[in-house]
Chains A and B, each alone.
Chain A
Amino acid sequence: MRKQSARTAALVLCILSYLLVGAAVFDALESEAESGRKRLLAQKRSELRRKYGFSAEDYRELERLALQAEPHRAGSQWKFAGSFYFAITVITTIGYGHAAPGTDSGKAFCMFYALLGIPLTLVTFQSLGERLNALVRRLLLAAKRCLGLRRPRVSPENMAAAGLLACAATLALGAAAFAHFEGWTFFHAYYYCFITLTTIGFGDFVALQNDGALQRKPPYVAFSFLYILLGLTVIGAFLNLVVLRFLAAAADAPERAARPPRRGAPESRGPAQRAGRIAISCRLHPLELCARDNPGFSPPASPGAGGGGRAGRPPARRKSI
């Protein structure tokens, strides 16, 4: 039990220090620019006020109106296409915020929609991602065979490299497309794709907001939706490959640790049955686990070792059954 708690504590400390480091770096990078922008804004504001003779309240009202007009400038956000876009941002947790429900009923529905939608989406993307990984594995195996390698095997490193390449390619493709369609620089479009596909979704860059694209450019709209969903699949596949085992590991570990104390407990069955049980389990299922926790029983390491070396064991186990 203690190992898991230690691991958790280490992770928490790691995250806290990561936050502190990030804060320091972002501060160094951005606060200068921020104060510069603020000064520029104040300057422009006073110029405008002088030029047109706005009072303080009038100007504040104007500012508020300008802010409110922003989403409307981008076109109708809540017709079907816009709402579909919004629904995507909800269940994938991207959440640009370029459009957010204004009515209370919209907010309430949004919450229930997310409640069911987010877990469903998580599971779906992981499922899709796993299938994608299986396909890639098969393709790599076929490719290796074609290349005439004697014993083609796809190692985890191969898969990780393929996954990384796929992610980079997805981002680059999206960057090229959105740079062209939205008129952003390649770097900004890449940044947009990255922030979108990691589901951060700042909303500083949002596609489909220019020229009423949501209503007037259905092929581009379709492309954007497809890109987001496919891109999330690719990222999900990579996460499934690399990260999921650590999420699941966090869940597994305590059972392993809890086992030894239980085995010694007086309420358990007799030693023969216990041994038999464990032996059966280990024999049937070559788990590293069993090897670690039951030094007396080593799982069959290979098909060959399984039959011969264990000849003496089966009778004993049979008895316990």
Chain B
Amino acid sequence: CAHNYVLFSSVQFSYGHAAPSTDGGKVFCMFYALLGIPLTLVMFQSLGERINTFVKYLLHRAKRGLGMRRADVSMANMVLIGFFSCISTLCIGAAAFSYYEHWTFFQAYYYCFITLTTIGFGDYVALQKDQALQTQPQYVAFSFVYILTGLTVIGAFLNLVVLRFMTMNAEDEKRDAEHRALLTRNGQAGGGGGAGGASCGGGSAHTTDTASSTAAGGGGGFRNVYAEVLHFQSMCSCLWYKSREKLQYSIPMIIPRDLSTSDTCVEQSHSSPGGGGRYSDTPSHRCLCSGAQRSAISSVSTGLHSLSTFRSLMKRRSSV
């Protein structure tokens, strides 16, 4: 039946149990896929992201309800939940299809896996026995709903875990371009008092070099502020790592809409240290900066060339 076939091909895996035989069908199929596949990709990612947000919210409430002191939802929590959702989706499908299609549980599990990863070999295809497409509408409906829901769950997990890596090259490019632009601007302006970038002792040599080079050219307030941030960052790299890791999932992160810079503006959550100089949940961290400096640092991301790969990886946008 054409309906079944259409569902499958629009979702981009195809069993091939039915493929257009007429030339007109082939042509329409190509145009249909041309528009349908990107649309479907965007839809599943959109839906998956909504689900991730909702799950994060639920987990946060659950943690609060359980009276846990730190009710933040970490990335690890989300990944765990996502993984278990995928496994249970596969198992539920396996149970259902093994019953309806008289496959073994393993075969049905294999079918669900190959389907939901959109590979779609076609060695196992549902709805092909006993004229099910025509005579068993509830089973047909269940199959369609299962495939679409399953793809949403997998899509949510991919959105959580993989999407950030798909954009990393582009982000790095933008960050480099931004930094180059900044340096060019510094060079053009000339003169001026650089902020204390050159004087910072800690942090990576990278940062120091960049800071001094930035500060050396600096003239306007823009560059001064920037150099100061570099200075802070180099001194308080310990805090940088710690705050990024801790806050990565528990605070809303604003991601640049156009990747002209890949930096993130991070806003302090209520769980972070206050405006005074006190250290909150990081008693073990011996940090040189005062609380005010720290809040400035953690609220400003640095999209510097000098950031190590580790830092770059930590700056992956959280998908929730």
Contact = CB atoms under 8 A, between A and B. Distances in A.
A254 B45 CA distance: 13
B221 A22 contact: no
A267 B319 CA distance: 25
Interface in B11-39: 12-16, 19-26, 28-30, 32-33, 35-39
B274 interface: yes
Contacts of A96: 16, 121
Interface in B245-292: 252-258, 260-261, 263, 265, 267-270, 274-275, 292
Interface string B161-193: 111011111100100001001001100110000
A214 to B, nearest CB: 18
A75 interface: no
A191 B30 contact: yes
A29 B25 contact: yes
B43 interface: yes
B20 A200 contact: no
B225 interface: yes
A127 B169 contact: yes
A interface, size bucket: 35 or more
Contacts of B162: 119, 122-123
A252 B171 CA distance: 14
B176 to A, nearest CB: 11
B interface, size bucket: 35 or more
Contacts of B300: 277, 280-281, 284
B258 A288 contact: yes
Contact of B110 (A34, A107, A188, A204): A107
Contact of A256 (B36, B254, B268): B254
A201 B121 CA distance: 8
Nearest to B300: A280
A290 interface: yes
A95 B13 contact: yes
B295 A123 contact: no
B74 interface: no
Given A30-B22, A199-B12, A95 B119 contact: yes
Contacts of B39: 11, 14-15, 18
Interface string B194-206: 0000000000000
B296 interface: yes
B268 A268 contact: yes
A287 B265 contact: yes
Interface of A: 4-5, 7-8, 11-12, 14-15, 18-19, 22-23, 25-27, 29-31, 33-34, 37, 89-90, 93-97, 100, 104, 107, 110-111, 114, 118-119, 122-123, 126-127, 130-131, 134, 187-188, 191, 194-195, 198-204, 239-240, 242-244, 246-252, 254-256, 258-259, 262-263, 265, 267-270, 273, 276-278, 280-290, 293, 300, 303, 306-308, 310-311, 313-315, 317-318, 320-321
Ranked 3 nearest A-B pairs via Cβ: A314-B221, A267-B270, A307-B220
